[in-house]
Amino acid sequence: MSKQLFAIFGDPVSHSRSPLMHNSVFKQLNYNACYTRVHLTDGSKLRETFLNLKLSGANITVPHKEEAFKACDEVRGFATKIGVVNTIVKENGKLIGYNTDADGFLFSISEFKNIKTILILGAGGTAKALSQKFSDEGFEVTILNRSENRLQSYTESGFKTFTWESFEIKKYDLVINTTSAGLQDSNLPAPKEIIKPLLQQSSYVADAIYGKVTPFLALAKELNKEYKDGADMLLGQGVLANNYFTASTFDLKTIEKYMRESFNY
Ligand code: NDP
């Protein structure tokens, strides 16, 4: 079989560790494939670009995961429930979509104990995946977002939703930042008058962003909270995506081993 090509689509995408992670697995396991990055500004061009590049599969990151859902011929598993796709695999000429973010996140917080209530900051693609998964797992989930627009679908699905204006600060067992605040700027995901008292009362803090200490995590650290950045979430979603890319040729533990090694590069 000729060499397979995989890619990550995003805007921005230069910060992504996915090429290192997947190439580490391909190289160590002698799998004839290579993984690159594609800076895509217009999400509606995703399908066309995927096909032009003759990709065998792709990951999709901010802000194109909902467009990725539309780009697929068929969507399977948890992604069908949420309309958000972060992994596409070409199968018999068709683009098949999956979502591996939520299971990746559950993997990353498995050491946080006694969690019942979760506050998600942000209402984009990542929030959608996590909120649905958490709710399926029996957690009580609340969503806080900067603007009203994206909250509607969450309200309709039965979640408690707030904007910064309507939010009443109280204790949550876990607070997760799924906004892109702090990714390329020094913003908190909500005004400090909200975030600081919120974190003071919470037990655990997590951020989907990885590779840097965001202002949000810096505050959690200052308040002596137990926290995690997005690296383990990234690892979790990557292991599951690689398993789709390689059609279950390797077991998950083997993929995890070589993918984790790439974090030392
Ligand atoms: P989306 O573009 O779908 O959603 C972005 C959300 O962030 C929206 O709710 C938006 O609010 C909010 N937002 C953006 N800027 C700000 C700001 N300055 N202050 C407050 N809220 C803001 O993004 P995704 O859900 O795809 O990704 C979100 C983040 O998660 C990214 O940083 C991404 O890198 C990270 N991520 C990490 C993963 C990992 O494996 N570790 C996996 C997936 C994502 P509004 O509606 O008001 O615009």
Tokens 């000729």 belong to which residue?
2
Give the residue with greater pLDDT, 108 vs 200.
200
- Atom of ligand 1 lying closest to residue 229 CA: 41
CB of 186 closer than 6 angstroms to any ligand 1 atom? no
Q: Which two tokens stand for residue 181?
A: 């605040």
> Where residue 168 falls among pLDDT bands split at 50, 70, 90?
very high
Give the pLDDT mean for 186-205. 98
- Return the best residue to mutate from 106, 108, 146, 240 for the ligand 1 pocket (most ligand atoms within 8 A of CB): 146
CB of 47 closer than 6 angstroms to any ligand 1 atom? no
pLDDT for the residue 111: 82
Q: Give CA–CA dist 74/64, Å, rounded.
A: 17
Could you confirm whether 65 is annotated as catalytic? yes
Give the pLDDT mean for 30-57. 98
CATH architecture of the region 4-99+232-262 = 3-Layer(aba) Sandwich (3.40)
Instruction: Look at residue 265 and tell me whether its pLDDT is greater than 80.
Output: no
CB atoms within 10 A of CB 209: 25
In the chain, ranges of CATH 3.40.50.10860 domains: 4-99+232-262
Nearest Cα neighbor of 177 from 221, 136, 230, 222 is 230
> Where residue 241 falls among pLDDT bands split at 50, 70, 90?
very high
- Atom of ligand 1 lying closest to residue 101 CA: 42
Give the pLDDT mean for 29-51. 98
Q: What is the pTM of this model?
A: 0.84
CB of 18 closer than 6 angstroms to any ligand 1 atom? no
pLDDT for the residue 108: 81
pLDDT for the residue 28: 97
Work out the mean pLDDT of the chain and round it to a whole number.
95
Going by CA atoms, what residue is nearest to atom 20 of ligand 1?
Answer: 189
Instruction: Look at residue 109 and tell me whether its pLDDT is greater than 90.
Output: no
| DSSP-assigned states of every residue in 13-63 | -TT--HHHHHHHHHHHTT-SEEEEEEE-S-GGGHHHHHHHTT-SEEEE-TT
> Where residue 104 falls among pLDDT bands split at 50, 70, 90?
confident
Coil/strand/helix, residue 156: helix
- Atom of ligand 1 lying closest to residue 122 CA: 9
Coil/strand/helix, residue 207: strand
Distance (Å) from CA 32 to ligand 1 centroid = 33
pLDDT for the residue 198: 98
CATH class name, domain 103-229? alpha beta
If you count DSSP H runs as helices and E runs as strands, how many of each does the chain have, helices first?
11, 12
Give the residue with greater pLDDT, 214 vs 104.
214
Q: Give CA–CA dist 87/79, Å, rounded.
A: 9
Cβ neighbours for 17, distance < 8 A, ≥ 6 positions apart? 210, 211, 234, 262, 263
| DSSP-assigned states of every residue in 73-130 | SEE-THHHHHT--SEEEEETTEEEEE--HHHHHHHHTTT--S--EEEEE--SHHHHHH
In the chain, ranges of CATH 3.40.50.720 domains: 103-229
Instruction: Look at residue 232 and tell me whether its pLDDT is greater than 90.
Output: no
Q: Give CA–CA dist 255/25, Å, rounded.
A: 6
pLDDT for the residue 235: 93
